[in-house]
Amino acid sequence: MDWPRFGYSVALYALSPLIWQRVWREQVPTYQRWQRLGIEPSARSGQAYIWLHCASVGEVRAAQPLIKALLAHYPRHHLLLTTMTASGAQQVQVLTHLSSRLIHRFIPLDFPGSAKRFVRHWQPALAILFETELWPNLIACCHQHHLPVAVVNGRLSPRAFRRYLRIRPLMTNTLRRISWLAAKSQADAERFAALGMSANRTQVVGSLKFEISHNKGDGNDSKCLRRELGLETCKRPVWVAGSTREGEEAVLLAAHRKLACYHPEALLILAPRHPQRFDEVAKLCEKTQCTTARRSLQQPVTAQTQVYLADTLGELEQLYTVGDVAFVGGSLVPLGGHNVVEPASLGRFTLCGPSLENFEDVAKPLQAAGALESVADEQALVAALVAAFDDLDETARKGALGLQVVEQQRGALERTLAGLVQLLPAKAGQDPD
């Protein structure tokens, strides 16, 4: 009897009302909530599947190079991509043009019955979990069905490690069922090992976040957006605050008002991370008396517009390209930050707050090159923006250095694919339709 997992499952059932309350909000109209219980209304097709799970929008973005590579290396397989959040699901919808073999479902809640139904229905040839998605019942069910399970871009922040230490017996039993761990750093590998992951099934491959790629049409898209925002004819300093979280927008708007004392023509493009907060942030802009245009309403940007609220999904990359400076959210509040590689890979000088635990490994080389600067608070943010806009040539040079760092750090994708092929040969499976 797996007593740690039994106790975990009992706790899940006891907390199920709270869990359902949380996931009830994480819904997209075109998806049935039955997916949360591993229930599929239609019979499974005869295709072979690879299952890749990414928690939310940030992980889906970071996994895009891997998604493209899996579709290319396994042409005989369909790729089942699961997410936990609604924003993650909407991000996947942006990627459906990549292949008809890419399909999306919400991951089932980690109840024993839900896990069994999910695995029995899809029967994936390989399960791939991105970063820290360690679901004991799903992993145990894969193990029972003799399905190899890989954790790629594996990371454990110090905070997550301390949390998992409290349930170490459960995590040890779970990690014993992992076929291969592709850790993004030696520190992450050591934390996994301390929880019970075997060194023989662990490899440090580097961070997949450096493997970020951009569509060939990005240059034209950027020109169109600049023209749409009136930036082709009017040279005004622009900074883009992406993936912002609750508690950050008020600080960013206050900083922008102070920035106007030095650069009154400056424009802030504000892109909150979660769509359910778009209206809330719009009201905050109104409250702070910033002249605001909303992208979702196609409101025009004029010379008087101070803030452009990017209340849409799937456009952050394009938005970063029109700015002189990028600010990456989730970092002024203690959430561990978001992906600083994304704007750096576009050649943009990048700012962030002090909370960057989740991206410490990719942030260090960018900071060492001067392409990424951490600001402690509103005052420091204003000072950094003023300095950046006072010397745009120097700011562009720092952005170019960031792009160089990203290019130099590549290689994790190739090493990850090599490890996955050991679990599932690329020629295995059925021919696609």
What distance in Å separates the CA atoms of residue 410 and residue 394, rounded to the nearest whole number? Answer: 25
Mean pLDDT of the chain: 93
Higher pLDDT, 200 or 20: 200
Residues linked to residue 80 through DSSP beta bridges, in sequence order = 51, 103
Confidence of residue 433 (pLDDT cuts 50, 70, 90): very low
pLDDT of residue 34: 86
3-class secondary-structure state, position 127 = strand
Residues 53 and 200 in one domain: yes
Residue 29, pLDDT above cutoff 80: no
Q: Which domain holds residue 389?
A: 218-408
Confidence of residue 428 (pLDDT cuts 50, 70, 90): low
What distance in Å separates the CA atoms of residue 153 and residue 182, rounded to the nearest whole number? Answer: 6
Sign of CA dihedral 282, 248, 392, 401: negative
The structure tokens listed for 37 are 């219980």
Read off the pLDDT of residues 167-182 as tens digits, 9 standing for 90 and up: 999 999 999 999 999 9
Residues 82 and 102 in one domain: yes
Residues 232 and 185 in one domain: no
Residue reference for tokens 């890979």: 345
The CA–CA distances, whole Å, from 414 to 13, 68, 133, 138, 190 equal 41, 12, 22, 27, 22
Read off the pLDDT of residues 297-329 as tens digits, 9 standing for 90 and up: 999 999 999 999 999 988 999 999 999 999 999
pLDDT, mean of residues 83-109: 89
Amino acid at position 174, single letter:
T
Domain contains 4: no
- Strands (DSSP E) found in 196-244: 202-204, 238-244
Specify the pairing of strand 307-309 against strand 292-294: parallel
The answer to whether 61 and 339 have CB atoms below 8 angstroms apart is: yes
Residue 54, pLDDT above cutoff 50: yes
The answer to whether 210 and 409 have CB atoms below 8 angstroms apart is: yes
Domain contains 325: yes
pLDDT of residue 432: 44
| Backbone torsions φ then ψ of 330, nearest 5 degrees | 70, 15
Confidence of residue 374 (pLDDT cuts 50, 70, 90): very high
Read off the pLDDT of residues 183-228 as tens digits, 9 standing for 90 and up: 999 999 999 999 999 999 999 999 999 998 876 555 667 888 998 9
- Lowest-pLDDT range of 36-50, 113-127, 358-372: 36-50
Residues 234 and 368 in one domain: yes
Rounded to the nearest 10 degrees, the angle between the axes of helix 378-390 and helix 249-259 is 40
pLDDT, mean of residues 116-135: 96
Residues 131 and 273 in one domain: no
From the list 135, 84, 77, the residue with the least C-alpha distance to 105 is 84
The structure tokens listed for 300 are 């025009």
Residues 150 and 225 in one domain: no
The structure tokens listed for 411 are 């290689």
Residue 363, pLDDT above cutoff 90: yes
Residues 183 and 265 in one domain: no
Domain contains 428: no
CATH number of the domain bearing residue 175 = 3.40.50.11720
pLDDT of residue 43: 74
Question: How many domains does the chain fold into?
Answer: 2
A 10 A CB-CB count for 69 gives: 19
Residues 236 and 338 in one domain: yes
A 10 A CB-CB count for 329 gives: 25
pLDDT, mean of residues 59-68: 93
Domain contains 35: yes
pLDDT, mean of residues 400-418: 97
Give percent above pLDDT 70 in the chain.
97
pLDDT of residue 86: 85
pLDDT, mean of residues 34-47: 85
The answer to whether 108 and 38 have CB atoms below 8 angstroms apart is: yes
Residues 369 and 347 in one domain: yes
Q: What is the pTM of this model?
A: 0.86
pLDDT of residue 215: 66
Domain contains 378: yes
Domain contains 432: no
pLDDT of residue 218: 59
The structure tokens listed for 120 are 């029995």
The answer to whether 311 and 278 have CB atoms below 8 angstroms apart is: yes
Residues 313 and 415 in one domain: no
Domain contains 368: yes
Domain contains 3: no
The structure tokens listed for 246 are 């609750």
Q: Which of the residues are catalytic?
A: 59
Rounded to the nearest 10 degrees, the angle between the axes of helix 378-390 and helix 392-408 is 100
CA 159 from chain centre, in angstroms, equals 18
- Strands (DSSP E) found in 38-189: 48-53, 77-83, 102-106, 126-130, 149-154, 180-183
Residues 55 and 154 in one domain: yes
CATH number of the domain bearing residue 289 = 3.40.50.2000
Residues 157 and 249 in one domain: no
